[in-house]
Amino acid sequence: MQILDGKALSKKIETEVAASCASLKEKTGRVPGLAVILVGNDPASQAYVGMKKKACDRVGFYSVTHEMPENISQEAIEQTIEMMNENPNIDGILIQLPLPPHIDTTRLLELVAPHKDVDGFHPFNVGRLATGLDGFVPCTPLGVMELLAEYGIDVEGKECVVVGASNIVGKPMAALLLNANATVTVTHIYTKDLAAHTKNADIVLVGAGVINLVREDMVKQGAVVIDIGINRTEDGRLVGDVDYDNVAPKCSYITPVPGGVGPMTIAMLLKNTLKAAQLHAEEAR
């Protein structure tokens, strides 16, 4: 069993992004800029945004966070997004989810200019991913693909089971795997017999937000297990969706939580923002 070390790979990617950022600045004078919208006081969201800001600082990006109160109006957020769409110094716009219930999240995501949609949530980019065209891809599934590639795990022709069908992880994960010629099954809350699918999988990718959802008897010997879940136990520990201690001995490769997919998400956000900045620099020539 080998651990897929997302922490180490994310540091390697940060070094590459920092070098490309410096090169872009030297050639064009452009510094990649990321703007984040943070609504309310959710501790997890605040922590994520803080981590993203620190990562931007480490690689030499310009970043700004628009912190807004929980009771902010839909119109006020929309005006901020429109302002950032027009700002030539901003290459990427990120709306930290989840948003309060009174906010129309879908409308806000559709309002972000597709060429600044570094989270890959705009329908334009979702459509390009589904049809195998270049665009911006959601950071977490993109990070999974980078992790698999780093360790030489080829998905072509493999039986891959995605557990969870969210727009943020499950659906784009399935699309990326399909585009890489994997055979993909997507399971979700309405799947009647989850184990019947996971037992036959060469690669199991789990992002459902349920502690110990995937157990030792649900994976075959030698499987690759990618745990995308992040949950906090009652005693404050961070754990994934996989019963790691019992599943790991059966695996050829497995991601730990924390230290697996999590760091890759932020690394891919940096790569997407750099990509946006490079495209904007080319258009400005």
Catalytic positions:
52, 96, 119
CA distance 236 to 84: 37
Sign, CA torsion 48/52/58/59: positive
Sign, CA torsion 245/246/250/256: negative
CA distance 142 to 219: 23
CA distance 152 to 267: 19
151 by DSSP, 3-state: which?
A: coil
What dihedral do alpha carbons 48, 124, 149, 279 form, nearest 10°? -90
- Cα separations in angstroms, 227 against 99, 116, 188, 191: 25, 29, 15, 19
Closest CA to 214 of 228, 198, 193: 198
